[in-house]
Amino acid sequence: MKLGCCYYPEHWPESFWVEDARRMAAMGLQLVRIGEFAWSRIEPEPGRYDWGWLNRAIDTLHAAGLQVILGTPTATPPKWLVDVMPDMIAIDEQGRPRGFGSRRHYCFSHQGYRAECRRIVTALAERYGQHPAIVMWQTDNEYGCHDTVLSFSDAAAASFRGWLAARYGTVEALNAAWGNVFWSMEYRSFTEVDPPHLTVTEANPAHWLDYRRFASDQVTSFNREQVDILRSLSPDKDITHNFMGFFTEFDHHDVGRDIDVATWDSYPLGFLEQFWFSSDEKRAYLRQGHPDIAGFHHDLYRGCANGRWGVMEQQPGPVNWARFNPAPLPGMVALWTLEAAAHGAELTSYFRWRQAPFAQEQMHAGLLRPDSTEAEAANEVRAAADELANIGPQQTAQAPAALVFSYGAAWTIGIQPQGQSFRYLELVFECYSALRSQGLDVDIVSPDADLSAYRMVVVPTLPIMPEGFAEKLAALACPVLLGPRSGSKTASFTIPEGLAPGDCKQVIPLTVTRMESLRDGVSEPGDGFAVTRWREDVRSRLEPEISDAAGRGVVYAKGQARYCAIWPDRALLRQLIERMAHEAGVVLTDLPEGIRVRRSASHSFTFNYAAEPVFVPHLGKTLAPASWHIAPREA
Ligand code: GAL
């Protein structure tokens, strides 16, 4: 795994560059990502390019032995472009234009903006496509960041109508699929259909789901236009996009198919603060991040681009964008780095080289402080570089467990949660965490993945079963767990004939006759677990394998397949994983709180995420906070 950093030569006097490059290399960095926000400096006025500074910056980095990842600058269209083409601006769900003065203000559907992007990407690729310093291209920056996948502009509405016409052929087919007879919502032509926002009460969920699918396709095709240009003008270089954490607004598996390396931006402390974690977890892991946040994304993104992935932005200190922004515990930056290697990353690049003293991110730490002195993380980068050199390259080994992840499932549940605490990402994360806290390595895979090599398969929920998926599950010879709401909707967001779980009946014969959601704080007892958030009534000739204290069926099993008819709490997930592992002959390791294990083909890594020393039974020793233990893997 190579180490790198994100660098903005345009933010610093040119007199800094040589010394910066020298210090990067001396710190153990090999990669530098540049350029992704530099449009106003590359093209200060329409059609007038200024390549001089970028040539010199790339040559300076190259001369220091560094390899460059060059970003396309399309996340930051400059003011002159917005003024020439004001309707390229995205429109938010409230119908308000997104103003100039930060970034990501464009609409993915605007054909004029797309043409401008093709032009600037072509110019960059012609100029640098063969440059020996460039090893990788990054398209744009964090598609969807700041809530920017959905736009409700005229351009988006027009493209949506075309998308619907291609999908349905006739407007009658659309009316039938969506059930538009309900509330007299029928259309006479595709030109009558608007985006689903600003309706009096909720719009038809089928309308929303198609809008989300359309918006996701717009991101994919926007990205593909850049990929096509880069492939033709710079055929030997890898292409990546830097995805975000805990983000489901577009289908990353679709974008992942078009790129070579899926990278993601890892800010474990910011994510802990901003997402659903309990106050106790936020306190316990304040300076470390929850032990599964980084691993979850490593394993998810490894499944997006044929196994090639990395970390493009690694938090090096306090960030500026969460509600509270603590500093990492000493050791965590190195631990996060080694954990990425343990999960098979090709690169970890720190965001950013030097903290900027100006503009929006002046409170965001870098490897250097604004005065160029080394920040706390610098020594940890050296320590990580040394450790990486000691252990040598890491190959990914076959994981025993697969966790099936679907962006479409996130949209479906998000559009119709039915109970406000039924959160798709949280459910998947809880399943992941249950597997990992029992010592298992996990691949997070798309429903399209080949599942035949796994020893157990967990599908947290899949409301809309893609064609052939139930057959694929039914053919598996390993334990399979299907979560609540699986198979509960058709592709056009209707209740399936014969009721839920629809196609899953091939896997396990039962019918869900009623679904209810429970408000927060309600907890109905089971044997060592509790029913919270969600419960289904099931009719089946199968006797329940697990029931609650009142005798209502909770888990049904046939052969090695199980259906869980409630929101599974942590205790129930543990029980289920124990049963599955037992059937599969997979050995579990019950890990102490805060400890995680990950095996590469050659090594076994143990990480302590706790803020205290923890005795680790499988090592027979105590690990200090934010420390790790690496051993050759036993045969
Ligand atoms: C990322 C983004 C970077 C920077 C960083 C700050 O989301 O890609 O450009 O803003 O956050 O943490």
The single residue listed with the structure tokens 């009534």 is 537
* Ligand 1 atom nearest 315 alpha carbon: 12
Pocket test for ligand 1, best of 5, 7, 145 (most atoms within 8 A of CB): 145
CA of 73 to the centre of ligand 1 (A): 14
Q: How is residue 94 annotated by DSSP?
A: T
Ligand 1 nearest-atom number relative to CA 141 = 8
- C-alpha of residue 251 to centroid of ligand 1, in Å: 20
Q: Which atom of ligand 1 is nearest to the CA of 319?
A: 12
Region(s) of the chain under CATH 3.40.50.880: 401-584
Cα gap 465→447, rounded to integer Å: 9
Query: pLDDT (tens digit, 9 = 90+) per residue, 103-120?
Result: 999 999 999 999 999 999
Report the top-level CATH class of 401-584. alpha beta
Residue of minimum CA distance from atom 10 in ligand 1: 361
User: CATH 3.20.20.80 in the chain, residues?
Assistant: 2-81+130-144+236-391
Each residue's pLDDT tens digit, 195-247: 999 999 999 999 999 999 999 999 999 999 999 999 999 999 999 999 999 99
Mean pLDDT of 582-610: 98
| Closest residue by CA, ligand 1 atom 1 | 265
Report the mean per-residue pLDDT for the chain: 98
**Domain 2-81+130-144+236-391 has what CATH class?**
alpha beta
Burial class (CB in 10 A: 0-12, 13-18, 19+), 339: buried
pLDDT over 90 at 264, yes or no: yes
For strand 553-558 and strand 561-564, is the pairing parallel, antiparallel, or unpaired? antiparallel
Residue having the nearest C-alpha atom to atom 12 of ligand 1: 319
Neighbours of 618 (CB within 10 A): 15
The phi and psi torsions of 389 (rounded to 5 degrees) equal -65, -35
Burial class (CB within 10 angstroms; exposed 0-12, middle 13-18, buried 19+) of 348? buried
**Residue carrying structure tokens 């926002």:** 197
- From the list 264, 261, 258, the residue with the least C-alpha distance to 308 is 261
Four-point Cα dihedral 481, 484, 486, 487, nearest 10? 130
Ligand 1 pocket list (CB less than 6 A): 141-142, 145, 265, 267, 313, 319, 321, 351, 361, 364
pLDDT band at 478; cut points 50, 70, 90: very high
Q: Compute, in angstroms, the gap from residue 535 CA to the centroid of ligand 1.
A: 39
Dump pLDDT digits (tens) for 334-375: 999 999 999 999 999 999 999 999 999 999 999 999 999 999
Contact criterion met (CB below 8 Å) for 152 and 203: no
Tokens of 565: 């008819």
Helix, strand or coil for residue 60? helix
Contacts of 115 (CB under 8 A, 6+ apart): none
Query: Which token pair is 412?
Result: 């479906």
Q: How far is the CA of 50 from the centre of ligand 1 (A)?
A: 25
What residues act catalytically? Answer: 142, 313
What is the 3-class SS of 338-401, one letter each residue? HHHHHCCCCEEEECCCECCCCCCCCCCCCCECCCCCECCHHHHHHHHHHHHHHHCCCCCCCCCE
CA angle 633, 404, 212 (to 5 degrees): 140
Using most ligand atoms within 8 A of CB, pick from 104, 247, 321, 354 the residue to mutate for ligand 1. 321
pLDDT-derived band at 402 (thresholds 50, 70, 90) equals very high
Distances (CA, A) of 541 to 554, 559, 560: 14, 14, 17
> What is the mean pLDDT of the segment spanning 411-420?
98
pLDDT of 440 strictly over 80: yes
- For 186-199, the pLDDT digits (tens) are 999 999 999 999 99
Cα 524 versus chain centre, distance: 33
| DSSP string over 275-334 | SS--HHHHHHTTTT--TTHHHHHHHHHHTTTTT-EEEEEE--S--SSSSS-PPPPTTHHH
Residues counted in the chain: 635
| Gap between the Cα atoms of 10 and 215, Å rounded | 33
In this prediction, residue 634 carries a pLDDT of: 78
pLDDT of residue 88: 98
Above 90 in pLDDT, residue 309? yes
Instruction: From residue 1, give the alpha-carbon distance in Å to each of 281, 309, 319, 504.
Output: 30, 10, 24, 41
Say how many C-beta atoms besides its own lie within 10 A of residue 617's C-beta.
11
| Percent of the residues in the chain that have a pLDDT greater than 90, as a whole number | 100
**pLDDT 10s digits, 43-100:** 999 999 999 999 999 999 999 999 999 999 999 999 999 999 999 999 999 999 999 9
> Ligand 1 center to residue 220 CA distance, Å?
21
Tokens 């059609």: give the residue.
47
Whether residue 635 has pLDDT greater than 70:
no
